[in-house]
A and B are shown apart, each in its own frame.
Chain A
Amino acid sequence: MRNRIVLTIVLLFGLAAGSAAKDTAPVFKTAEAKHFSGVEGVELTPAFYDYFYAELRSELTKSKLVSEVIGEGEAVENADADRSVVITGTVIEYKKGSVVKSALIGFGAGMRSLKVDADVMRRSDQQNLCTIHVHVKVEPNWNEKIMARFAAQQIAKDMKKEFGPKK
């Protein structure tokens, strides 16, 4: 009985170590996230873009898709440029939402929404590797920075799906 328990624990540890090892292989050497911009008519504060930039960098670090997440405008060695990416993007739509609509109608009406397009480009030749479209909806009384967090998480998730190890 005791041997079985020990064997089960060893197997579980083995599985956990295996899955961790699978996650830790970075695809890119460096990734640079730029401050996103907003199209005309998008009423978001500069503080929102700052926070979004910080969240995106934080999520990219967590995703372990890149060895190093560098700051905006940092120099990269020429040897690493073909294995490095630059992420740029635009907020194409932002709706403040309506608390009244949300309370009276419900079913997603009056939600605060944010649409972001992000481009992942190779640093060496500026080739577009993929374009990510993100649409985030939250309750109208929530802080707009929570949307930034969800959008950054979604971008990192989509990048992992696109470039990460295929199952």
Chain B
Amino acid sequence: MSVTTNLARILVLSLNLYALCARAASDEPRPKPENTVGVHLPEPVAPQKFDHAPKFWITDVIDRSGNPQPMQVLKSRGGMFLDRQPTVIVREALQESLKSGDLLASDASSADLEIRVYLFHFGLAEGSGLDFFGKVEFSAVVKNPKTGETAEVKATGTSIAKGAARKKNMQKNVQEDLEDSLKDATRNFLRGQQLKEAVMLLFKNTDATSVSNAKP
């Protein structure tokens, strides 16, 4: 068998492979203005009242979902995408809500407590198929920068929205669903018993440290 024949065979095979890859790539949904949704908190969530009223600062929001495409919320039916990274959306929601309750510090140095958020899930989760099941789940590490002590606070938000046959309705329902689950998760975090206990614990230790430092 001649070298030319072998080369021709390899060329034909590579062209076929290239065609298959190109076809698969064209099936992947891509973000376009008509399939992109903007998710924002409809209104800031009022946080719970604290005895000490500490000032918080969000140092970081880290994506721990393990999702290679965090902005893609739906793959089927042409796909649906977020306009920003989920970490940005969650940070904005928490900051707005803390600000509305006058609990947001102006900068990191003036903060009483620092918050580092680990985002585990943002978007749609597997539902019954008849509706959209929105879920936002994160864990926050609250740290007292003076003592270096930390406490973990978990938060989950869920929402169920109606399914939709038309694409326009689907986009509206998914957006509402994500906004509701984001609001729910923010509320669960800011009004949760876990945050209350974390603040009490971290402040109690600060008081104890300041008393021990004051003693001669």
Contacts and interface: CB of A to CB of B under 8 A. Distances in A.
Contact of B188 (A47, A54, A73): A73
Interface stretch (A1-9, A87-95, A128-136, A141-149): A141-149
A83 to B, nearest CB: 18
Interface residues of B, number: 23
A57 interface: yes
Contact of A51 (B133, B156, B157): B133
Interface string A42-80: 000001001101110110000000000011111100000
A71 B193 contact: no
B160 A74 contact: no
B192 to A, nearest CB: 5
Contacts of B129: 143, 145-146
Contact of B135 (A54, A57, A58, A75): A54
A72 B196 CA distance: 14
Given A54-B158, A57-B158, A75 B128 contact: no
Contact of B196 (A51, A75, A148): A75
A146 B128 contact: yes
A73 B193 contact: yes
Interface string B115-153: 000000000011111100101000000000000000000
A132 B156 CA distance: 26
B36 interface: no
Q: Is the interface of B mostly helix, strand, loop or mixed?
A: mixed
A74 B158 contact: no
Interface centre among B125, B157, B158 (most CB of A within 10 A): B158
At the interface, is chain A mostly helix, strand, loop or mixed? helix
A24 B178 CA distance: 26
B125 A47 contact: yes
B159 interface: yes
B194 interface: yes
Nearest to B153: A73
Contacts of A51: 125-128, 133
Contacts of A72: 156, 188
A75 B51 CA distance: 14
A32 to B, nearest CB: 11
Interface string B149-185: 0000001111110000000000000000000000010
B128 A149 contact: yes
Interface of B: 48, 125-130, 133, 135, 155-160, 184, 187-188, 191-194, 196
7 contacts: A47-B126, A71-B155, A74-B187, A74-B188, A148-B128, A149-B128, A149-B130
